[in-house]
Amino acid sequence: MTLPAAKDKTLFTPGPLTTSLAVKQAMLHDAGSWHFEFNEIVRQVREKLLAAAGVSREQGFEAILLQGSGTFGVEAVLASVLPPQGKLLVLANGAYGERIAQMAAHLRIAATVLRSPENQLPDLETLRRTLASDAALTHVAVVHCETTTGLLNPITEIGQIVKQSGRIHIVDAMSSFGAIPIDFAAAGIDFLVSSANKCLEGVPGFSFVIGRRALLLAAEGHARSLSLDLLGQLKGFEKNGQFRYTPPTHSILAFAEALREFEMEGGVAGRAARYRANHAALVEGMKRLGFQVYLDPKVQSYIITSFYYPDDPKFTFAEFYRRLSDKGMLIYPGKISQVDCFRIGTIGRIFDSDIRQLLAAVRDTIDEMGIKL
């Protein structure tokens, strides 16, 4: 019989990620999905999400929780706010931008995709020309932190072009919200989507949309889905404080605790400082071991970092991953289509000591495998 480990393996991933003990313990309680106590927690969570975003209801924004992963949230926005004759412009420089384009195809939404290499930012002049030349385009969608590589897209500059052209700006901020400062006004954001199990350090179970109430009301009747109808979900909250369908009760209890810890750490600024320090320590240590970073530092986020495979025939990612797992460290495979890379996340409930433990495990693993760097 194998005895259980003393602690969970540490997740160096972009989410789901390592959570605090208190967040885990919050899920040890049951909650009635229609009970007034649970509805009050939902109300507080929605209020705190607006505060974390730096916006308010007085400014015309709403926070809408939606069962399912972040992908469900992004698809809900597309399925709910684009009118029948609307057309979407997608900026894609990674797998998650491509996923937005795929959603549009499944929803039968007309779309144009402006693709850039996975290690480069979108060309802003091309964006400006495309919007000027196609009057049918109504909405623009972009991924803020493209976790395919760890690249950070310039949503403020993109948003200014989108607003100047009179279009609606949709931002997938799955891996950035709560840890990278986002100025809604400067970026002209109309709808932002993120998830409980990312930088706010909750657990999987729901996504959330922070969007303009007026635009949601104007989209009445546009929803292409019953369960992914954002306006329907908002009306449910306003009617009786409840989800329309069974809510992820335990995930929300955990998230309420996660938000408390987020506030205790100093909000976005405090969390950004820890994640930035984690990233700096990781990159310095991996370079010292001989690994090469994939992205130019100018476009690299501090959320997740891609590293090239060592140029040694003895290296296989599967064995590298397994040996690190045996040491209690879980990293991420690469998702880049053009080069062989693996990824290491620096978010979640991890600190400098965890990064140092990972670096020691990587050093021991490459020694065991006989890898020359």
- Whether residue 215 has pLDDT greater than 80: yes
- Whether residue 2 has pLDDT greater than 90: no
Write out the E strands in the chain. Answer: 10-11, 61-67, 87-92, 110-115, 139-143, 145-146, 151-152, 168-172, 191-195, 206-212, 304-308, 329-330, 332-333, 341-345
- Whether residue 3 has pLDDT greater than 60: no
Confidence at 17, pLDDT banded by 50, 70, 90: very high
Q: Which of 306, 70, 311 is nearest to 173 (CA)?
A: 70
Domains of the chain and CATH, by start: 10-16+267-369 (3.90.1150.10), 21-264 (3.40.640.10)
Amino acid sitting at position 64: I
Average pLDDT, the chain: 96
Would you say 302 and 275 are in contact if contact means Cβ atoms under 8 Å apart?
Answer: yes
Average confidence (pLDDT) over 9-16: 94
User: What span, in angstroms and rounded, lies between the C-alpha atoms of 35 and 275?
Assistant: 37
Amino acid 156: pLDDT: 98
State the DSSP code for 8.
P
Would you say 191 and 163 are in contact if contact means Cβ atoms under 8 Å apart?
Answer: no
- Whether residue 329 has pLDDT greater than 80: yes
How crowded is residue 148: how many other Cβ atoms within 10 Å of its Cβ? 25
Amino acid 140: pLDDT: 98
The model's pTM is: 0.96
User: What span, in angstroms and rounded, lies between the C-alpha atoms of 22 and 41?
Assistant: 16
Confidence at 352, pLDDT banded by 50, 70, 90: very high
Decide the pairing of beta strands 304-308 and 341-345.
antiparallel
Hey, which residues does 63 pair with through a beta bridge?
210
Q: What is the pLDDT of residues 231-248, one digit of tens each?
A: 999 999 999 999 999 999
Amino acid 7: pLDDT: 81
Confidence at 1, pLDDT banded by 50, 70, 90: low
- Within 8 A by CB and 6+ apart from 352, the residues are 277, 278, 281
Amino acid sitting at position 130: T
Q: What is the pLDDT of residues 252-276, one digit of tens each?
A: 999 999 999 999 999 999 999 999 9
Q: How many residues does the chain have?
A: 373
Decide the pairing of beta strands 151-152 and 139-143.
unpaired
- Whether residue 6 has pLDDT greater than 80: no
Amino acid 336: pLDDT: 80
Helices of type H across the chain: 21-26, 36-53, 70-81, 95-106, 124-133, 155-164, 184-187, 213-218, 230-240, 249-264, 267-289, 317-326, 352-369
Longest dimension (CA), the chain: 67
- Whether residue 5 has pLDDT greater than 70: no
Q: What is the pLDDT of residues 22-75, one digit of tens each?
A: 999 999 999 998 899 999 999 999 999 999 999 999 999 999 999 999 999 999
Q: What is the pLDDT of residues 96-148, one digit of tens each?
A: 999 999 999 999 999 999 999 999 999 999 999 999 999 999 999 999 999 99
Q: What is the pLDDT of residues 187-214, one digit of tens each?
A: 999 999 999 999 999 999 999 999 999 9
Would you say 167 and 214 are in contact if contact means Cβ atoms under 8 Å apart?
Answer: no
Amino acid 4: pLDDT: 62
- Whether residue 323 has pLDDT greater than 90: yes
Q: Which of 207, 211, 164, 161 is nearest to 184 (CA)?
A: 211
